[in-house]
Structure 1
Amino acid sequence: MLEDMSYTIRAAVDADVPAIADIYNEAVIRGGASADLEPVSLESRRAWVDSHRPRAKYPVVVIEGPEGAVVGFGSLSKFHQRAGYDGIAELSYYIAGDHQRQGLGTMMVRWLIDAAAERGFTHVTAIIYADNAGSVALMRRFGFIRFGLLPAAVGALDGKLHDMSYWVKALAGGVQSLRLKTGE
Structure 2
Amino acid sequence: MSEFIIRGATDADLQAITDIYNEAVLERMSSADIEPRTLAQRKAWVDSHEPRSLYPVVVVENADGEVVAFGSLSRYHERAGYDGVVELSYYVGSAWRRQGVGRQLVAWLLAEARRVGHRMAATLIFADNEGSSALMRHFGFERFGLMPDAVHLPGGIRHDIAYWCLPL
TM-score by length of structure 1 reads 0.89
Q: What code does the residue aligned with 2:10 have?
A: V
TM-superposed CA distance for 1:29, in Å, is 0.5
Count of matched residue positions in the alignment of Structure 1 and Structure 2:
168
Please give the alpha-carbon distance, in whole angstroms, between the structure 1 residues aligned to 2:154 and 2:73: 26
**Equivalent pair of 2:29/2:126 in contact (CA under 8 Å):** yes
TM-superposition CA deviations, 1:1-58 (whole Å, max 9, x none): xxx8321000001100000000000010011100001101000000000000000110
Contact 1:32 1:156 in 2 (8 A): no
Aligned Cα root-mean-square deviation (Å): 1.0
What do residues 137-183 of structure 1 show as CA deviations (whole Å, max 9, x unaligned)? 00000000001100001112341321000000001xxxxxxxxxxxx
Map of 1:108 onto structure 2: 105
Unaligned runs of 5+ in 1: 172-184
> Which of 30, 35, 54 lines up with 2:32 in the alignment?
35
Instruction: Determine what percentage of the aligned residue pairs are the same residue.
Output: 54
Higher share in helix: 2
Cα distance per residue 1:47-102 (max 9 Å; x no partner): 00000000011000000011111000000000011100001000000000001010
State how far apart, in whole Å, the 2-side matches of 1:140 and 1:124 are: 13
The runs of at least 4 aligned residues of structure 1 exceeding 6 Å deviation read: none
Question: Which of 77, 81, 102 is the aligned partner of 2:78?
Answer: 81
Provide TM-score, normalisation by structure 2. 0.98
Aligned counterparts of 1:152 and 1:40: Cα–Cα separation in 2:
23
